[in-house]
Amino acid sequence: MNFILVNIKELLQVRTSASKILKGKALQDLPTLKNAWLHIENGIIVDYGEMKDFKIDSSIKSIDCTGKIVLPTWVDSHTHLVYAGNRESEFVDKIKGLSYAEIAAKGGGIVNSAQQLQETSEEELYKQSKIRLQEVIAQGTGAVEIKSGYGLTTAAEMKMLRVAKKLQEDFDLPIKTTFLGAHALPKKFNGNTKAYIDEVINKMLPKVVNENLADFIDVFCEKGYFELEDTERIIKAGKKYNLPAKIHVNQFTSFGGLQLSAEENVLSVDHLEVLTDEDIQHLKKSTTLPVALPSCSFYLGIPYTPARKLIENDLPVVLASDYNPGSTPSGNMNFVISLACIKMKMTPEEAINAATINAAFAMQVENEVGSITKGKRANIIVTQPIHSYAFLPYSFGSNHIEQVYIKGNPQIHNS
Ligand SMILES: N=CN[C@@H](CCC(=O)O)C(=O)O
Ligand SMILES: [Zn+2]
């Protein structure tokens, strides 16, 4: 495939060389070219420029983008999109006033999803997950991290990760997998968290590594789930196998998990709906990336990650969806961007940076995606004709994406 997008109203996130993680004030800098062209060959961005310097080559197909904005696809660095069935009954419980913890105590929550997943065949799990992946691609996602954690047995955790790996093989976009065996304590362990962590580390992890099923490791560090000592054991076990850690932490409580994660310099700390000044100081001493999941805050009605506070402290921000059946039954990154602007008071520039280039760093695909850079994959979004890029987060709930290219291949086929 060799084609040129021409007359692009504005080409966003144009970066000439390997970029750095954007922190503090730098998050506001979104480099763009107005009235631009973009040349894609063999699935790769080969060149771009302004129309005034464009030299027509009639041997190359050109696609007119008058009035349209072009940007790199969203990078979703935190999802659980491989899962079985749904949890609408808990949704109704939630409407009636039950909290996340009360629903879990009633037998709902993660263990409910684990039960469904254990009873679902690998083929069926793949079928359900593929539909979700196709859905988010059509919504503009062009790289995705997928966690296990709804298996909670060796066989079921490996089933999840194999499904994620098959998605990686069948779809030509960067997919990274994370082993989250320590997501919740299975009932059969009768409250014995230590015994389960032993099993995760000594039984599950070696098998996962042996079959090359995971790029990262994760643990739900939260009261009622896993404590600091469990979290530390998981991070250290990951290090032994060269799996960087991405930690679920500070979703409901700040009790030292962030300090621990930052001191271990994990790749990312995700959620952070509850974030103390002390936590911020620990983050400042590390290279750990803070990842906000605003759709989870929206759905559960919990605080939003204080992005402004992170930015004022010269820290980076990453935005991701957290697509999962319990706390965030949506993987729509456009909605994430809207929430970041509307609820977290991020500017459109900050939100777009946080969901593209910074997010690429949070899943270690910064050399492949996240910006319009020569040599990167041509994973790009073409909008409908719109007034400006701020219109994307502003017009929340509407779809303004006309086409999504993955490695230069159009993904939306209008009949
Ligand atoms: N908080 C932990 N894990 C998921 C939700 C899990 C669930 O409720 O199924 C999350 O990131 O929100
Ligand atoms: Zn999550």
Read off the pLDDT of residues 17-51 as tens digits, 9 standing for 90 and up.
768 999 999 999 999 999 999 999 999 999 999 99
Ligand 1 atom closest to the CA of 87, numbered from 1: 9
Nearby residues of 309 by Cβ (< 8 Å), 6 or more positions away = 275, 280
The finding on whether 326 has its CB within 6 A of some atom of ligand 1 is yes
∠ Cα 340 345 346 (to 5°): 60
**In CATH, what number is assigned to the domain containing residue 393?**
2.30.40.10
Domain count, the chain: 2
Residue with tokens 């991290």: 145
Supply the range of the domain harboring residue 30. 2-72+372-410
Q: How confident is the model at residue 161 (pLDDT cuts 50, 70, 90)?
A: very high
- List 37's β-bridge partners, or say none: 49
The finding on whether 140 has its CB within 6 A of some atom of ligand 1 is no
Does residue 122 lie in a domain region?
A: yes
Q: Which ligand is nearest to the CA of 327?
A: 1
With 0-12 / 13-18 / 19 or more C-beta atoms within 10 angstroms meaning exposed / middle / buried, residue 414 is: exposed
300 near 100, Cβ under 8 Å? yes
Looking at the structure, do residues 173 and 292 belong to the same domain, yes or no? yes
To which H or E segment does residue 253 belong? none
N residues, the chain: 415
pLDDT for residue 106 is more than 70: yes
Q: How far apart are CA 319 and CA 301, in angstroms?
A: 18
Looking at the structure, do residues 68 and 80 belong to the same domain, yes or no? no
Q: Tell the residue nearest (CA) to atom 9 of ligand 1.
A: 326
Of the chain, the percentage scoring pLDDT greater than 90 comes to 94
Say what the alpha-carbon torsion angle 313, 316, 321, 324 is, to the nearest 10 degrees. -80
Other beta carbons less than 10 A from residue 412's beta carbon: 12
Predicted pLDDT of residue 89: 87
282 appears as a binding residue in the annotation:
no
The finding on whether 322 has its CB within 6 A of some atom of ligand 1 is yes
Helix axes 122-138, 154-170, angle to 10 degrees: 50
144 near 173, Cβ under 8 Å? yes
Predicted pLDDT of residue 55: 87
With 0-12 / 13-18 / 19 or more C-beta atoms within 10 angstroms meaning exposed / middle / buried, residue 210 is: exposed
Q: Kindly calculate the radius of gyration of the chain based on its CA atoms and give it in whole angstroms.
A: 21
Reported as a single tens digit per residue, the pLDDT across 356-397 is 999 999 999 999 999 999 999 999 999 999 999 999 999 999
ipTM: 0.97
Predicted pLDDT of residue 1: 82
Of the chain, the percentage scoring pLDDT greater than 70 comes to 100
Nearby residues of 256 by Cβ (< 8 Å), 6 or more positions away = 228
**In CATH, what number is assigned to the domain containing residue 190?**
3.20.20.140
Predicted pLDDT of residue 49: 97
Report the separation in Å between the CA atom of 357 and the middle of ligand 2, taken as the mean of its atom positions.
20
The finding on whether 325 has its CB within 6 A of some atom of ligand 1 is yes
Reported as a single tens digit per residue, the pLDDT across 200-244 is 999 999 999 999 999 999 999 999 999 999 999 999 999 999 999
Looking at the structure, do residues 108 and 212 belong to the same domain, yes or no? yes
Does residue 91 lie in a domain region?
A: yes
Looking at the structure, do residues 60 and 98 belong to the same domain, yes or no? no
In one-letter notation, the amino acid at residue 272 is L
Looking at the structure, do residues 52 and 155 belong to the same domain, yes or no? no
Looking at the structure, do residues 86 and 113 belong to the same domain, yes or no? yes
Looking at the structure, do residues 203 and 328 belong to the same domain, yes or no? yes
- Nearest CA to 79 out of 274, 205, 218 is that of 218
Does residue 226 lie in a domain region?
A: yes
| Share of the chain residues as helix, strand and coil, in percent rounded to the nearest 5 | 35, 25, 40
Does residue 415 lie in a domain region?
A: no
How is residue 159 written in tokens? 């089933």
8 near 345, Cβ under 8 Å? no
Q: What is the DSSP string of 322-361?
A: --BTTTB----HHHHHHHHHHTT---HHHHHHHHTHHHHH
The finding on whether 94 has its CB within 6 A of some atom of ligand 1 is no
pLDDT for residue 120 is more than 90: yes
343 near 314, Cβ under 8 Å? no
Looking at the structure, do residues 343 and 376 belong to the same domain, yes or no? no
pLDDT for residue 188 is more than 80: yes
Report the separation in Å between the CA atom of 111 and the middle of ligand 1, taken as the mean of its atom positions.
11
Q: Which ligand is nearest to the CA of 328?
A: 1
What is residue 60's DSSP assignment?
A: S
Looking at the structure, do residues 152 and 246 belong to the same domain, yes or no? yes
Looking at the structure, do residues 41 and 146 belong to the same domain, yes or no? no
